[in-house]
């Protein structure tokens, strides 16, 4: 598996994954804009060149916001999302980012559990922030502190299972 920088040529594939896994997917323009804006955009690729997942992080001085993360339906629940997110947080830490925020639909139990599993905690709630089939739903704001001594879990591990270093 390769965790590499996403390029414009990946947008079609990433868009097709996004459309398959998100009820309100990003557009092609959203992904292109993220690349053009210099956001931290990464894809997970197999040795055969198949993209299985992606993540987009928007840096802002010493903080960043995780804007999107997705894993193909066939590869979900195998530890890939946690591995990708851990790598993204390590990229952020290498850039001296202290804190990563995100917003997640309150109904997205899979994503909320994933975020908690790598150390995010809930820090806020935005009422009616997202559109959904019934009108709107709340956004939960979560944050993860990337202190120097915080050791991110590898795939299959929980925070605290590793010694620092
Ligand atoms: C959220 C998402 C990225 C998780 O990716 P994944 O590869 O399936 O996640 P993992 O296999 O690494 O799971 C990590 C942890 O997340 C939680 N989790 C993942 N899927 C879950 C599900 N369907 N239900 C409950 N918890 C879930 C579990 O705690 C899991 O740990 P465990 O398997 O040891 O119990 C994936 O479900 C996805 O692409 N969803 C659609 C896009 C999306 O909602 N993105 C987030 C908002 S932008």
**Model confidence pLDDT, tens digit, residues 46-72:** 999 999 999 999 999 999 999 999 999
Tokens of 108: 């997205």
**67, 6 Cβ separation under 8 angstroms:** no
Rounded to a whole number, what is the distance in angstroms from the first to the last CA of the chain? Answer: 24
Evaluate: CB of 98 within 6 angstroms of ligand 1: no
Q: Average pLDDT for consecutive 10-residue bins of the chain (165 residues)?
A: 95 98 96 98 97 98 97 97 96 96 97 97 97 94 81 49 32
Neighbouring CB atoms inside 10 A of 136's CB total 11
> What is the pLDDT, as a whole number, of residue 1?
76
Q: pTM of the full predicted structure?
A: 0.91
**86, 43 Cβ separation under 8 angstroms:** no
d(CA 82, CA 71): 10
> What is the pLDDT, as a whole number, of residue 17?
98
Tell me yes or no: is domain 2-145 CATH 3.40.630.30: yes
Residue to mutate (ligand 1; options 114, 152, 153, 155; most atoms within 8 A of CB):
114
Evaluate: CB of 125 within 6 angstroms of ligand 1: no
> Residue 70 C-alpha to ligand 1 middle, in angstroms?
9
d(CA 86, CA 83): 5
> What is the pLDDT, as a whole number, of residue 149?
44
Tell which atom from ligand 1 comes closest to the C-alpha of 78. Answer: 11
> What is the pLDDT, as a whole number, of residue 160?
37
**Model confidence pLDDT, tens digit, residues 106-123:** 999 999 999 999 999 999
Q: Beta 121-132 vs 135-145: how paired, if at all?
A: antiparallel
d(CA 121, CA 9): 35
**43, 10 Cβ separation under 8 angstroms:** yes
């Amino acid at each position: 598996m390769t965790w590499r920088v996403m390029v414009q040529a990946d947008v079609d594939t990433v868009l097709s994954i996004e459309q398959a896994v998100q009820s309100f997917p990003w557009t092609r323009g959203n992904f292109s804009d993220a690349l053009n804006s210099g956001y931290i955009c990464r894809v997970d690729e197999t040795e055969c060149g198949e993209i299985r997942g992606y993540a987009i992080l928007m840096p802002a001085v010493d903080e960043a916001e995780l804007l999107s993360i997705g894993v193909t339906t066939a590869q979900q629940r195998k530890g890939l999302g946690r591995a990708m997110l851990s790598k993204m947080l390590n990229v952020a830490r290498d850039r001296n980012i202290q804190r990563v925020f995100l917003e997640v639909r309150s109904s997205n139990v899979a994503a909320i559990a994933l975020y908690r599993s790598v150390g995010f905690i809930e820090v806020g709630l935005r009422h009616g922030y997202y559109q959904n089939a019934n009108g709107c739903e709340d956004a939960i704001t979560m944050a993860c502190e990337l202190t120097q001594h915080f050791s991110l879990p590898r795939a299959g591990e929980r925070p605290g299972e590793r010694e620092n270093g």
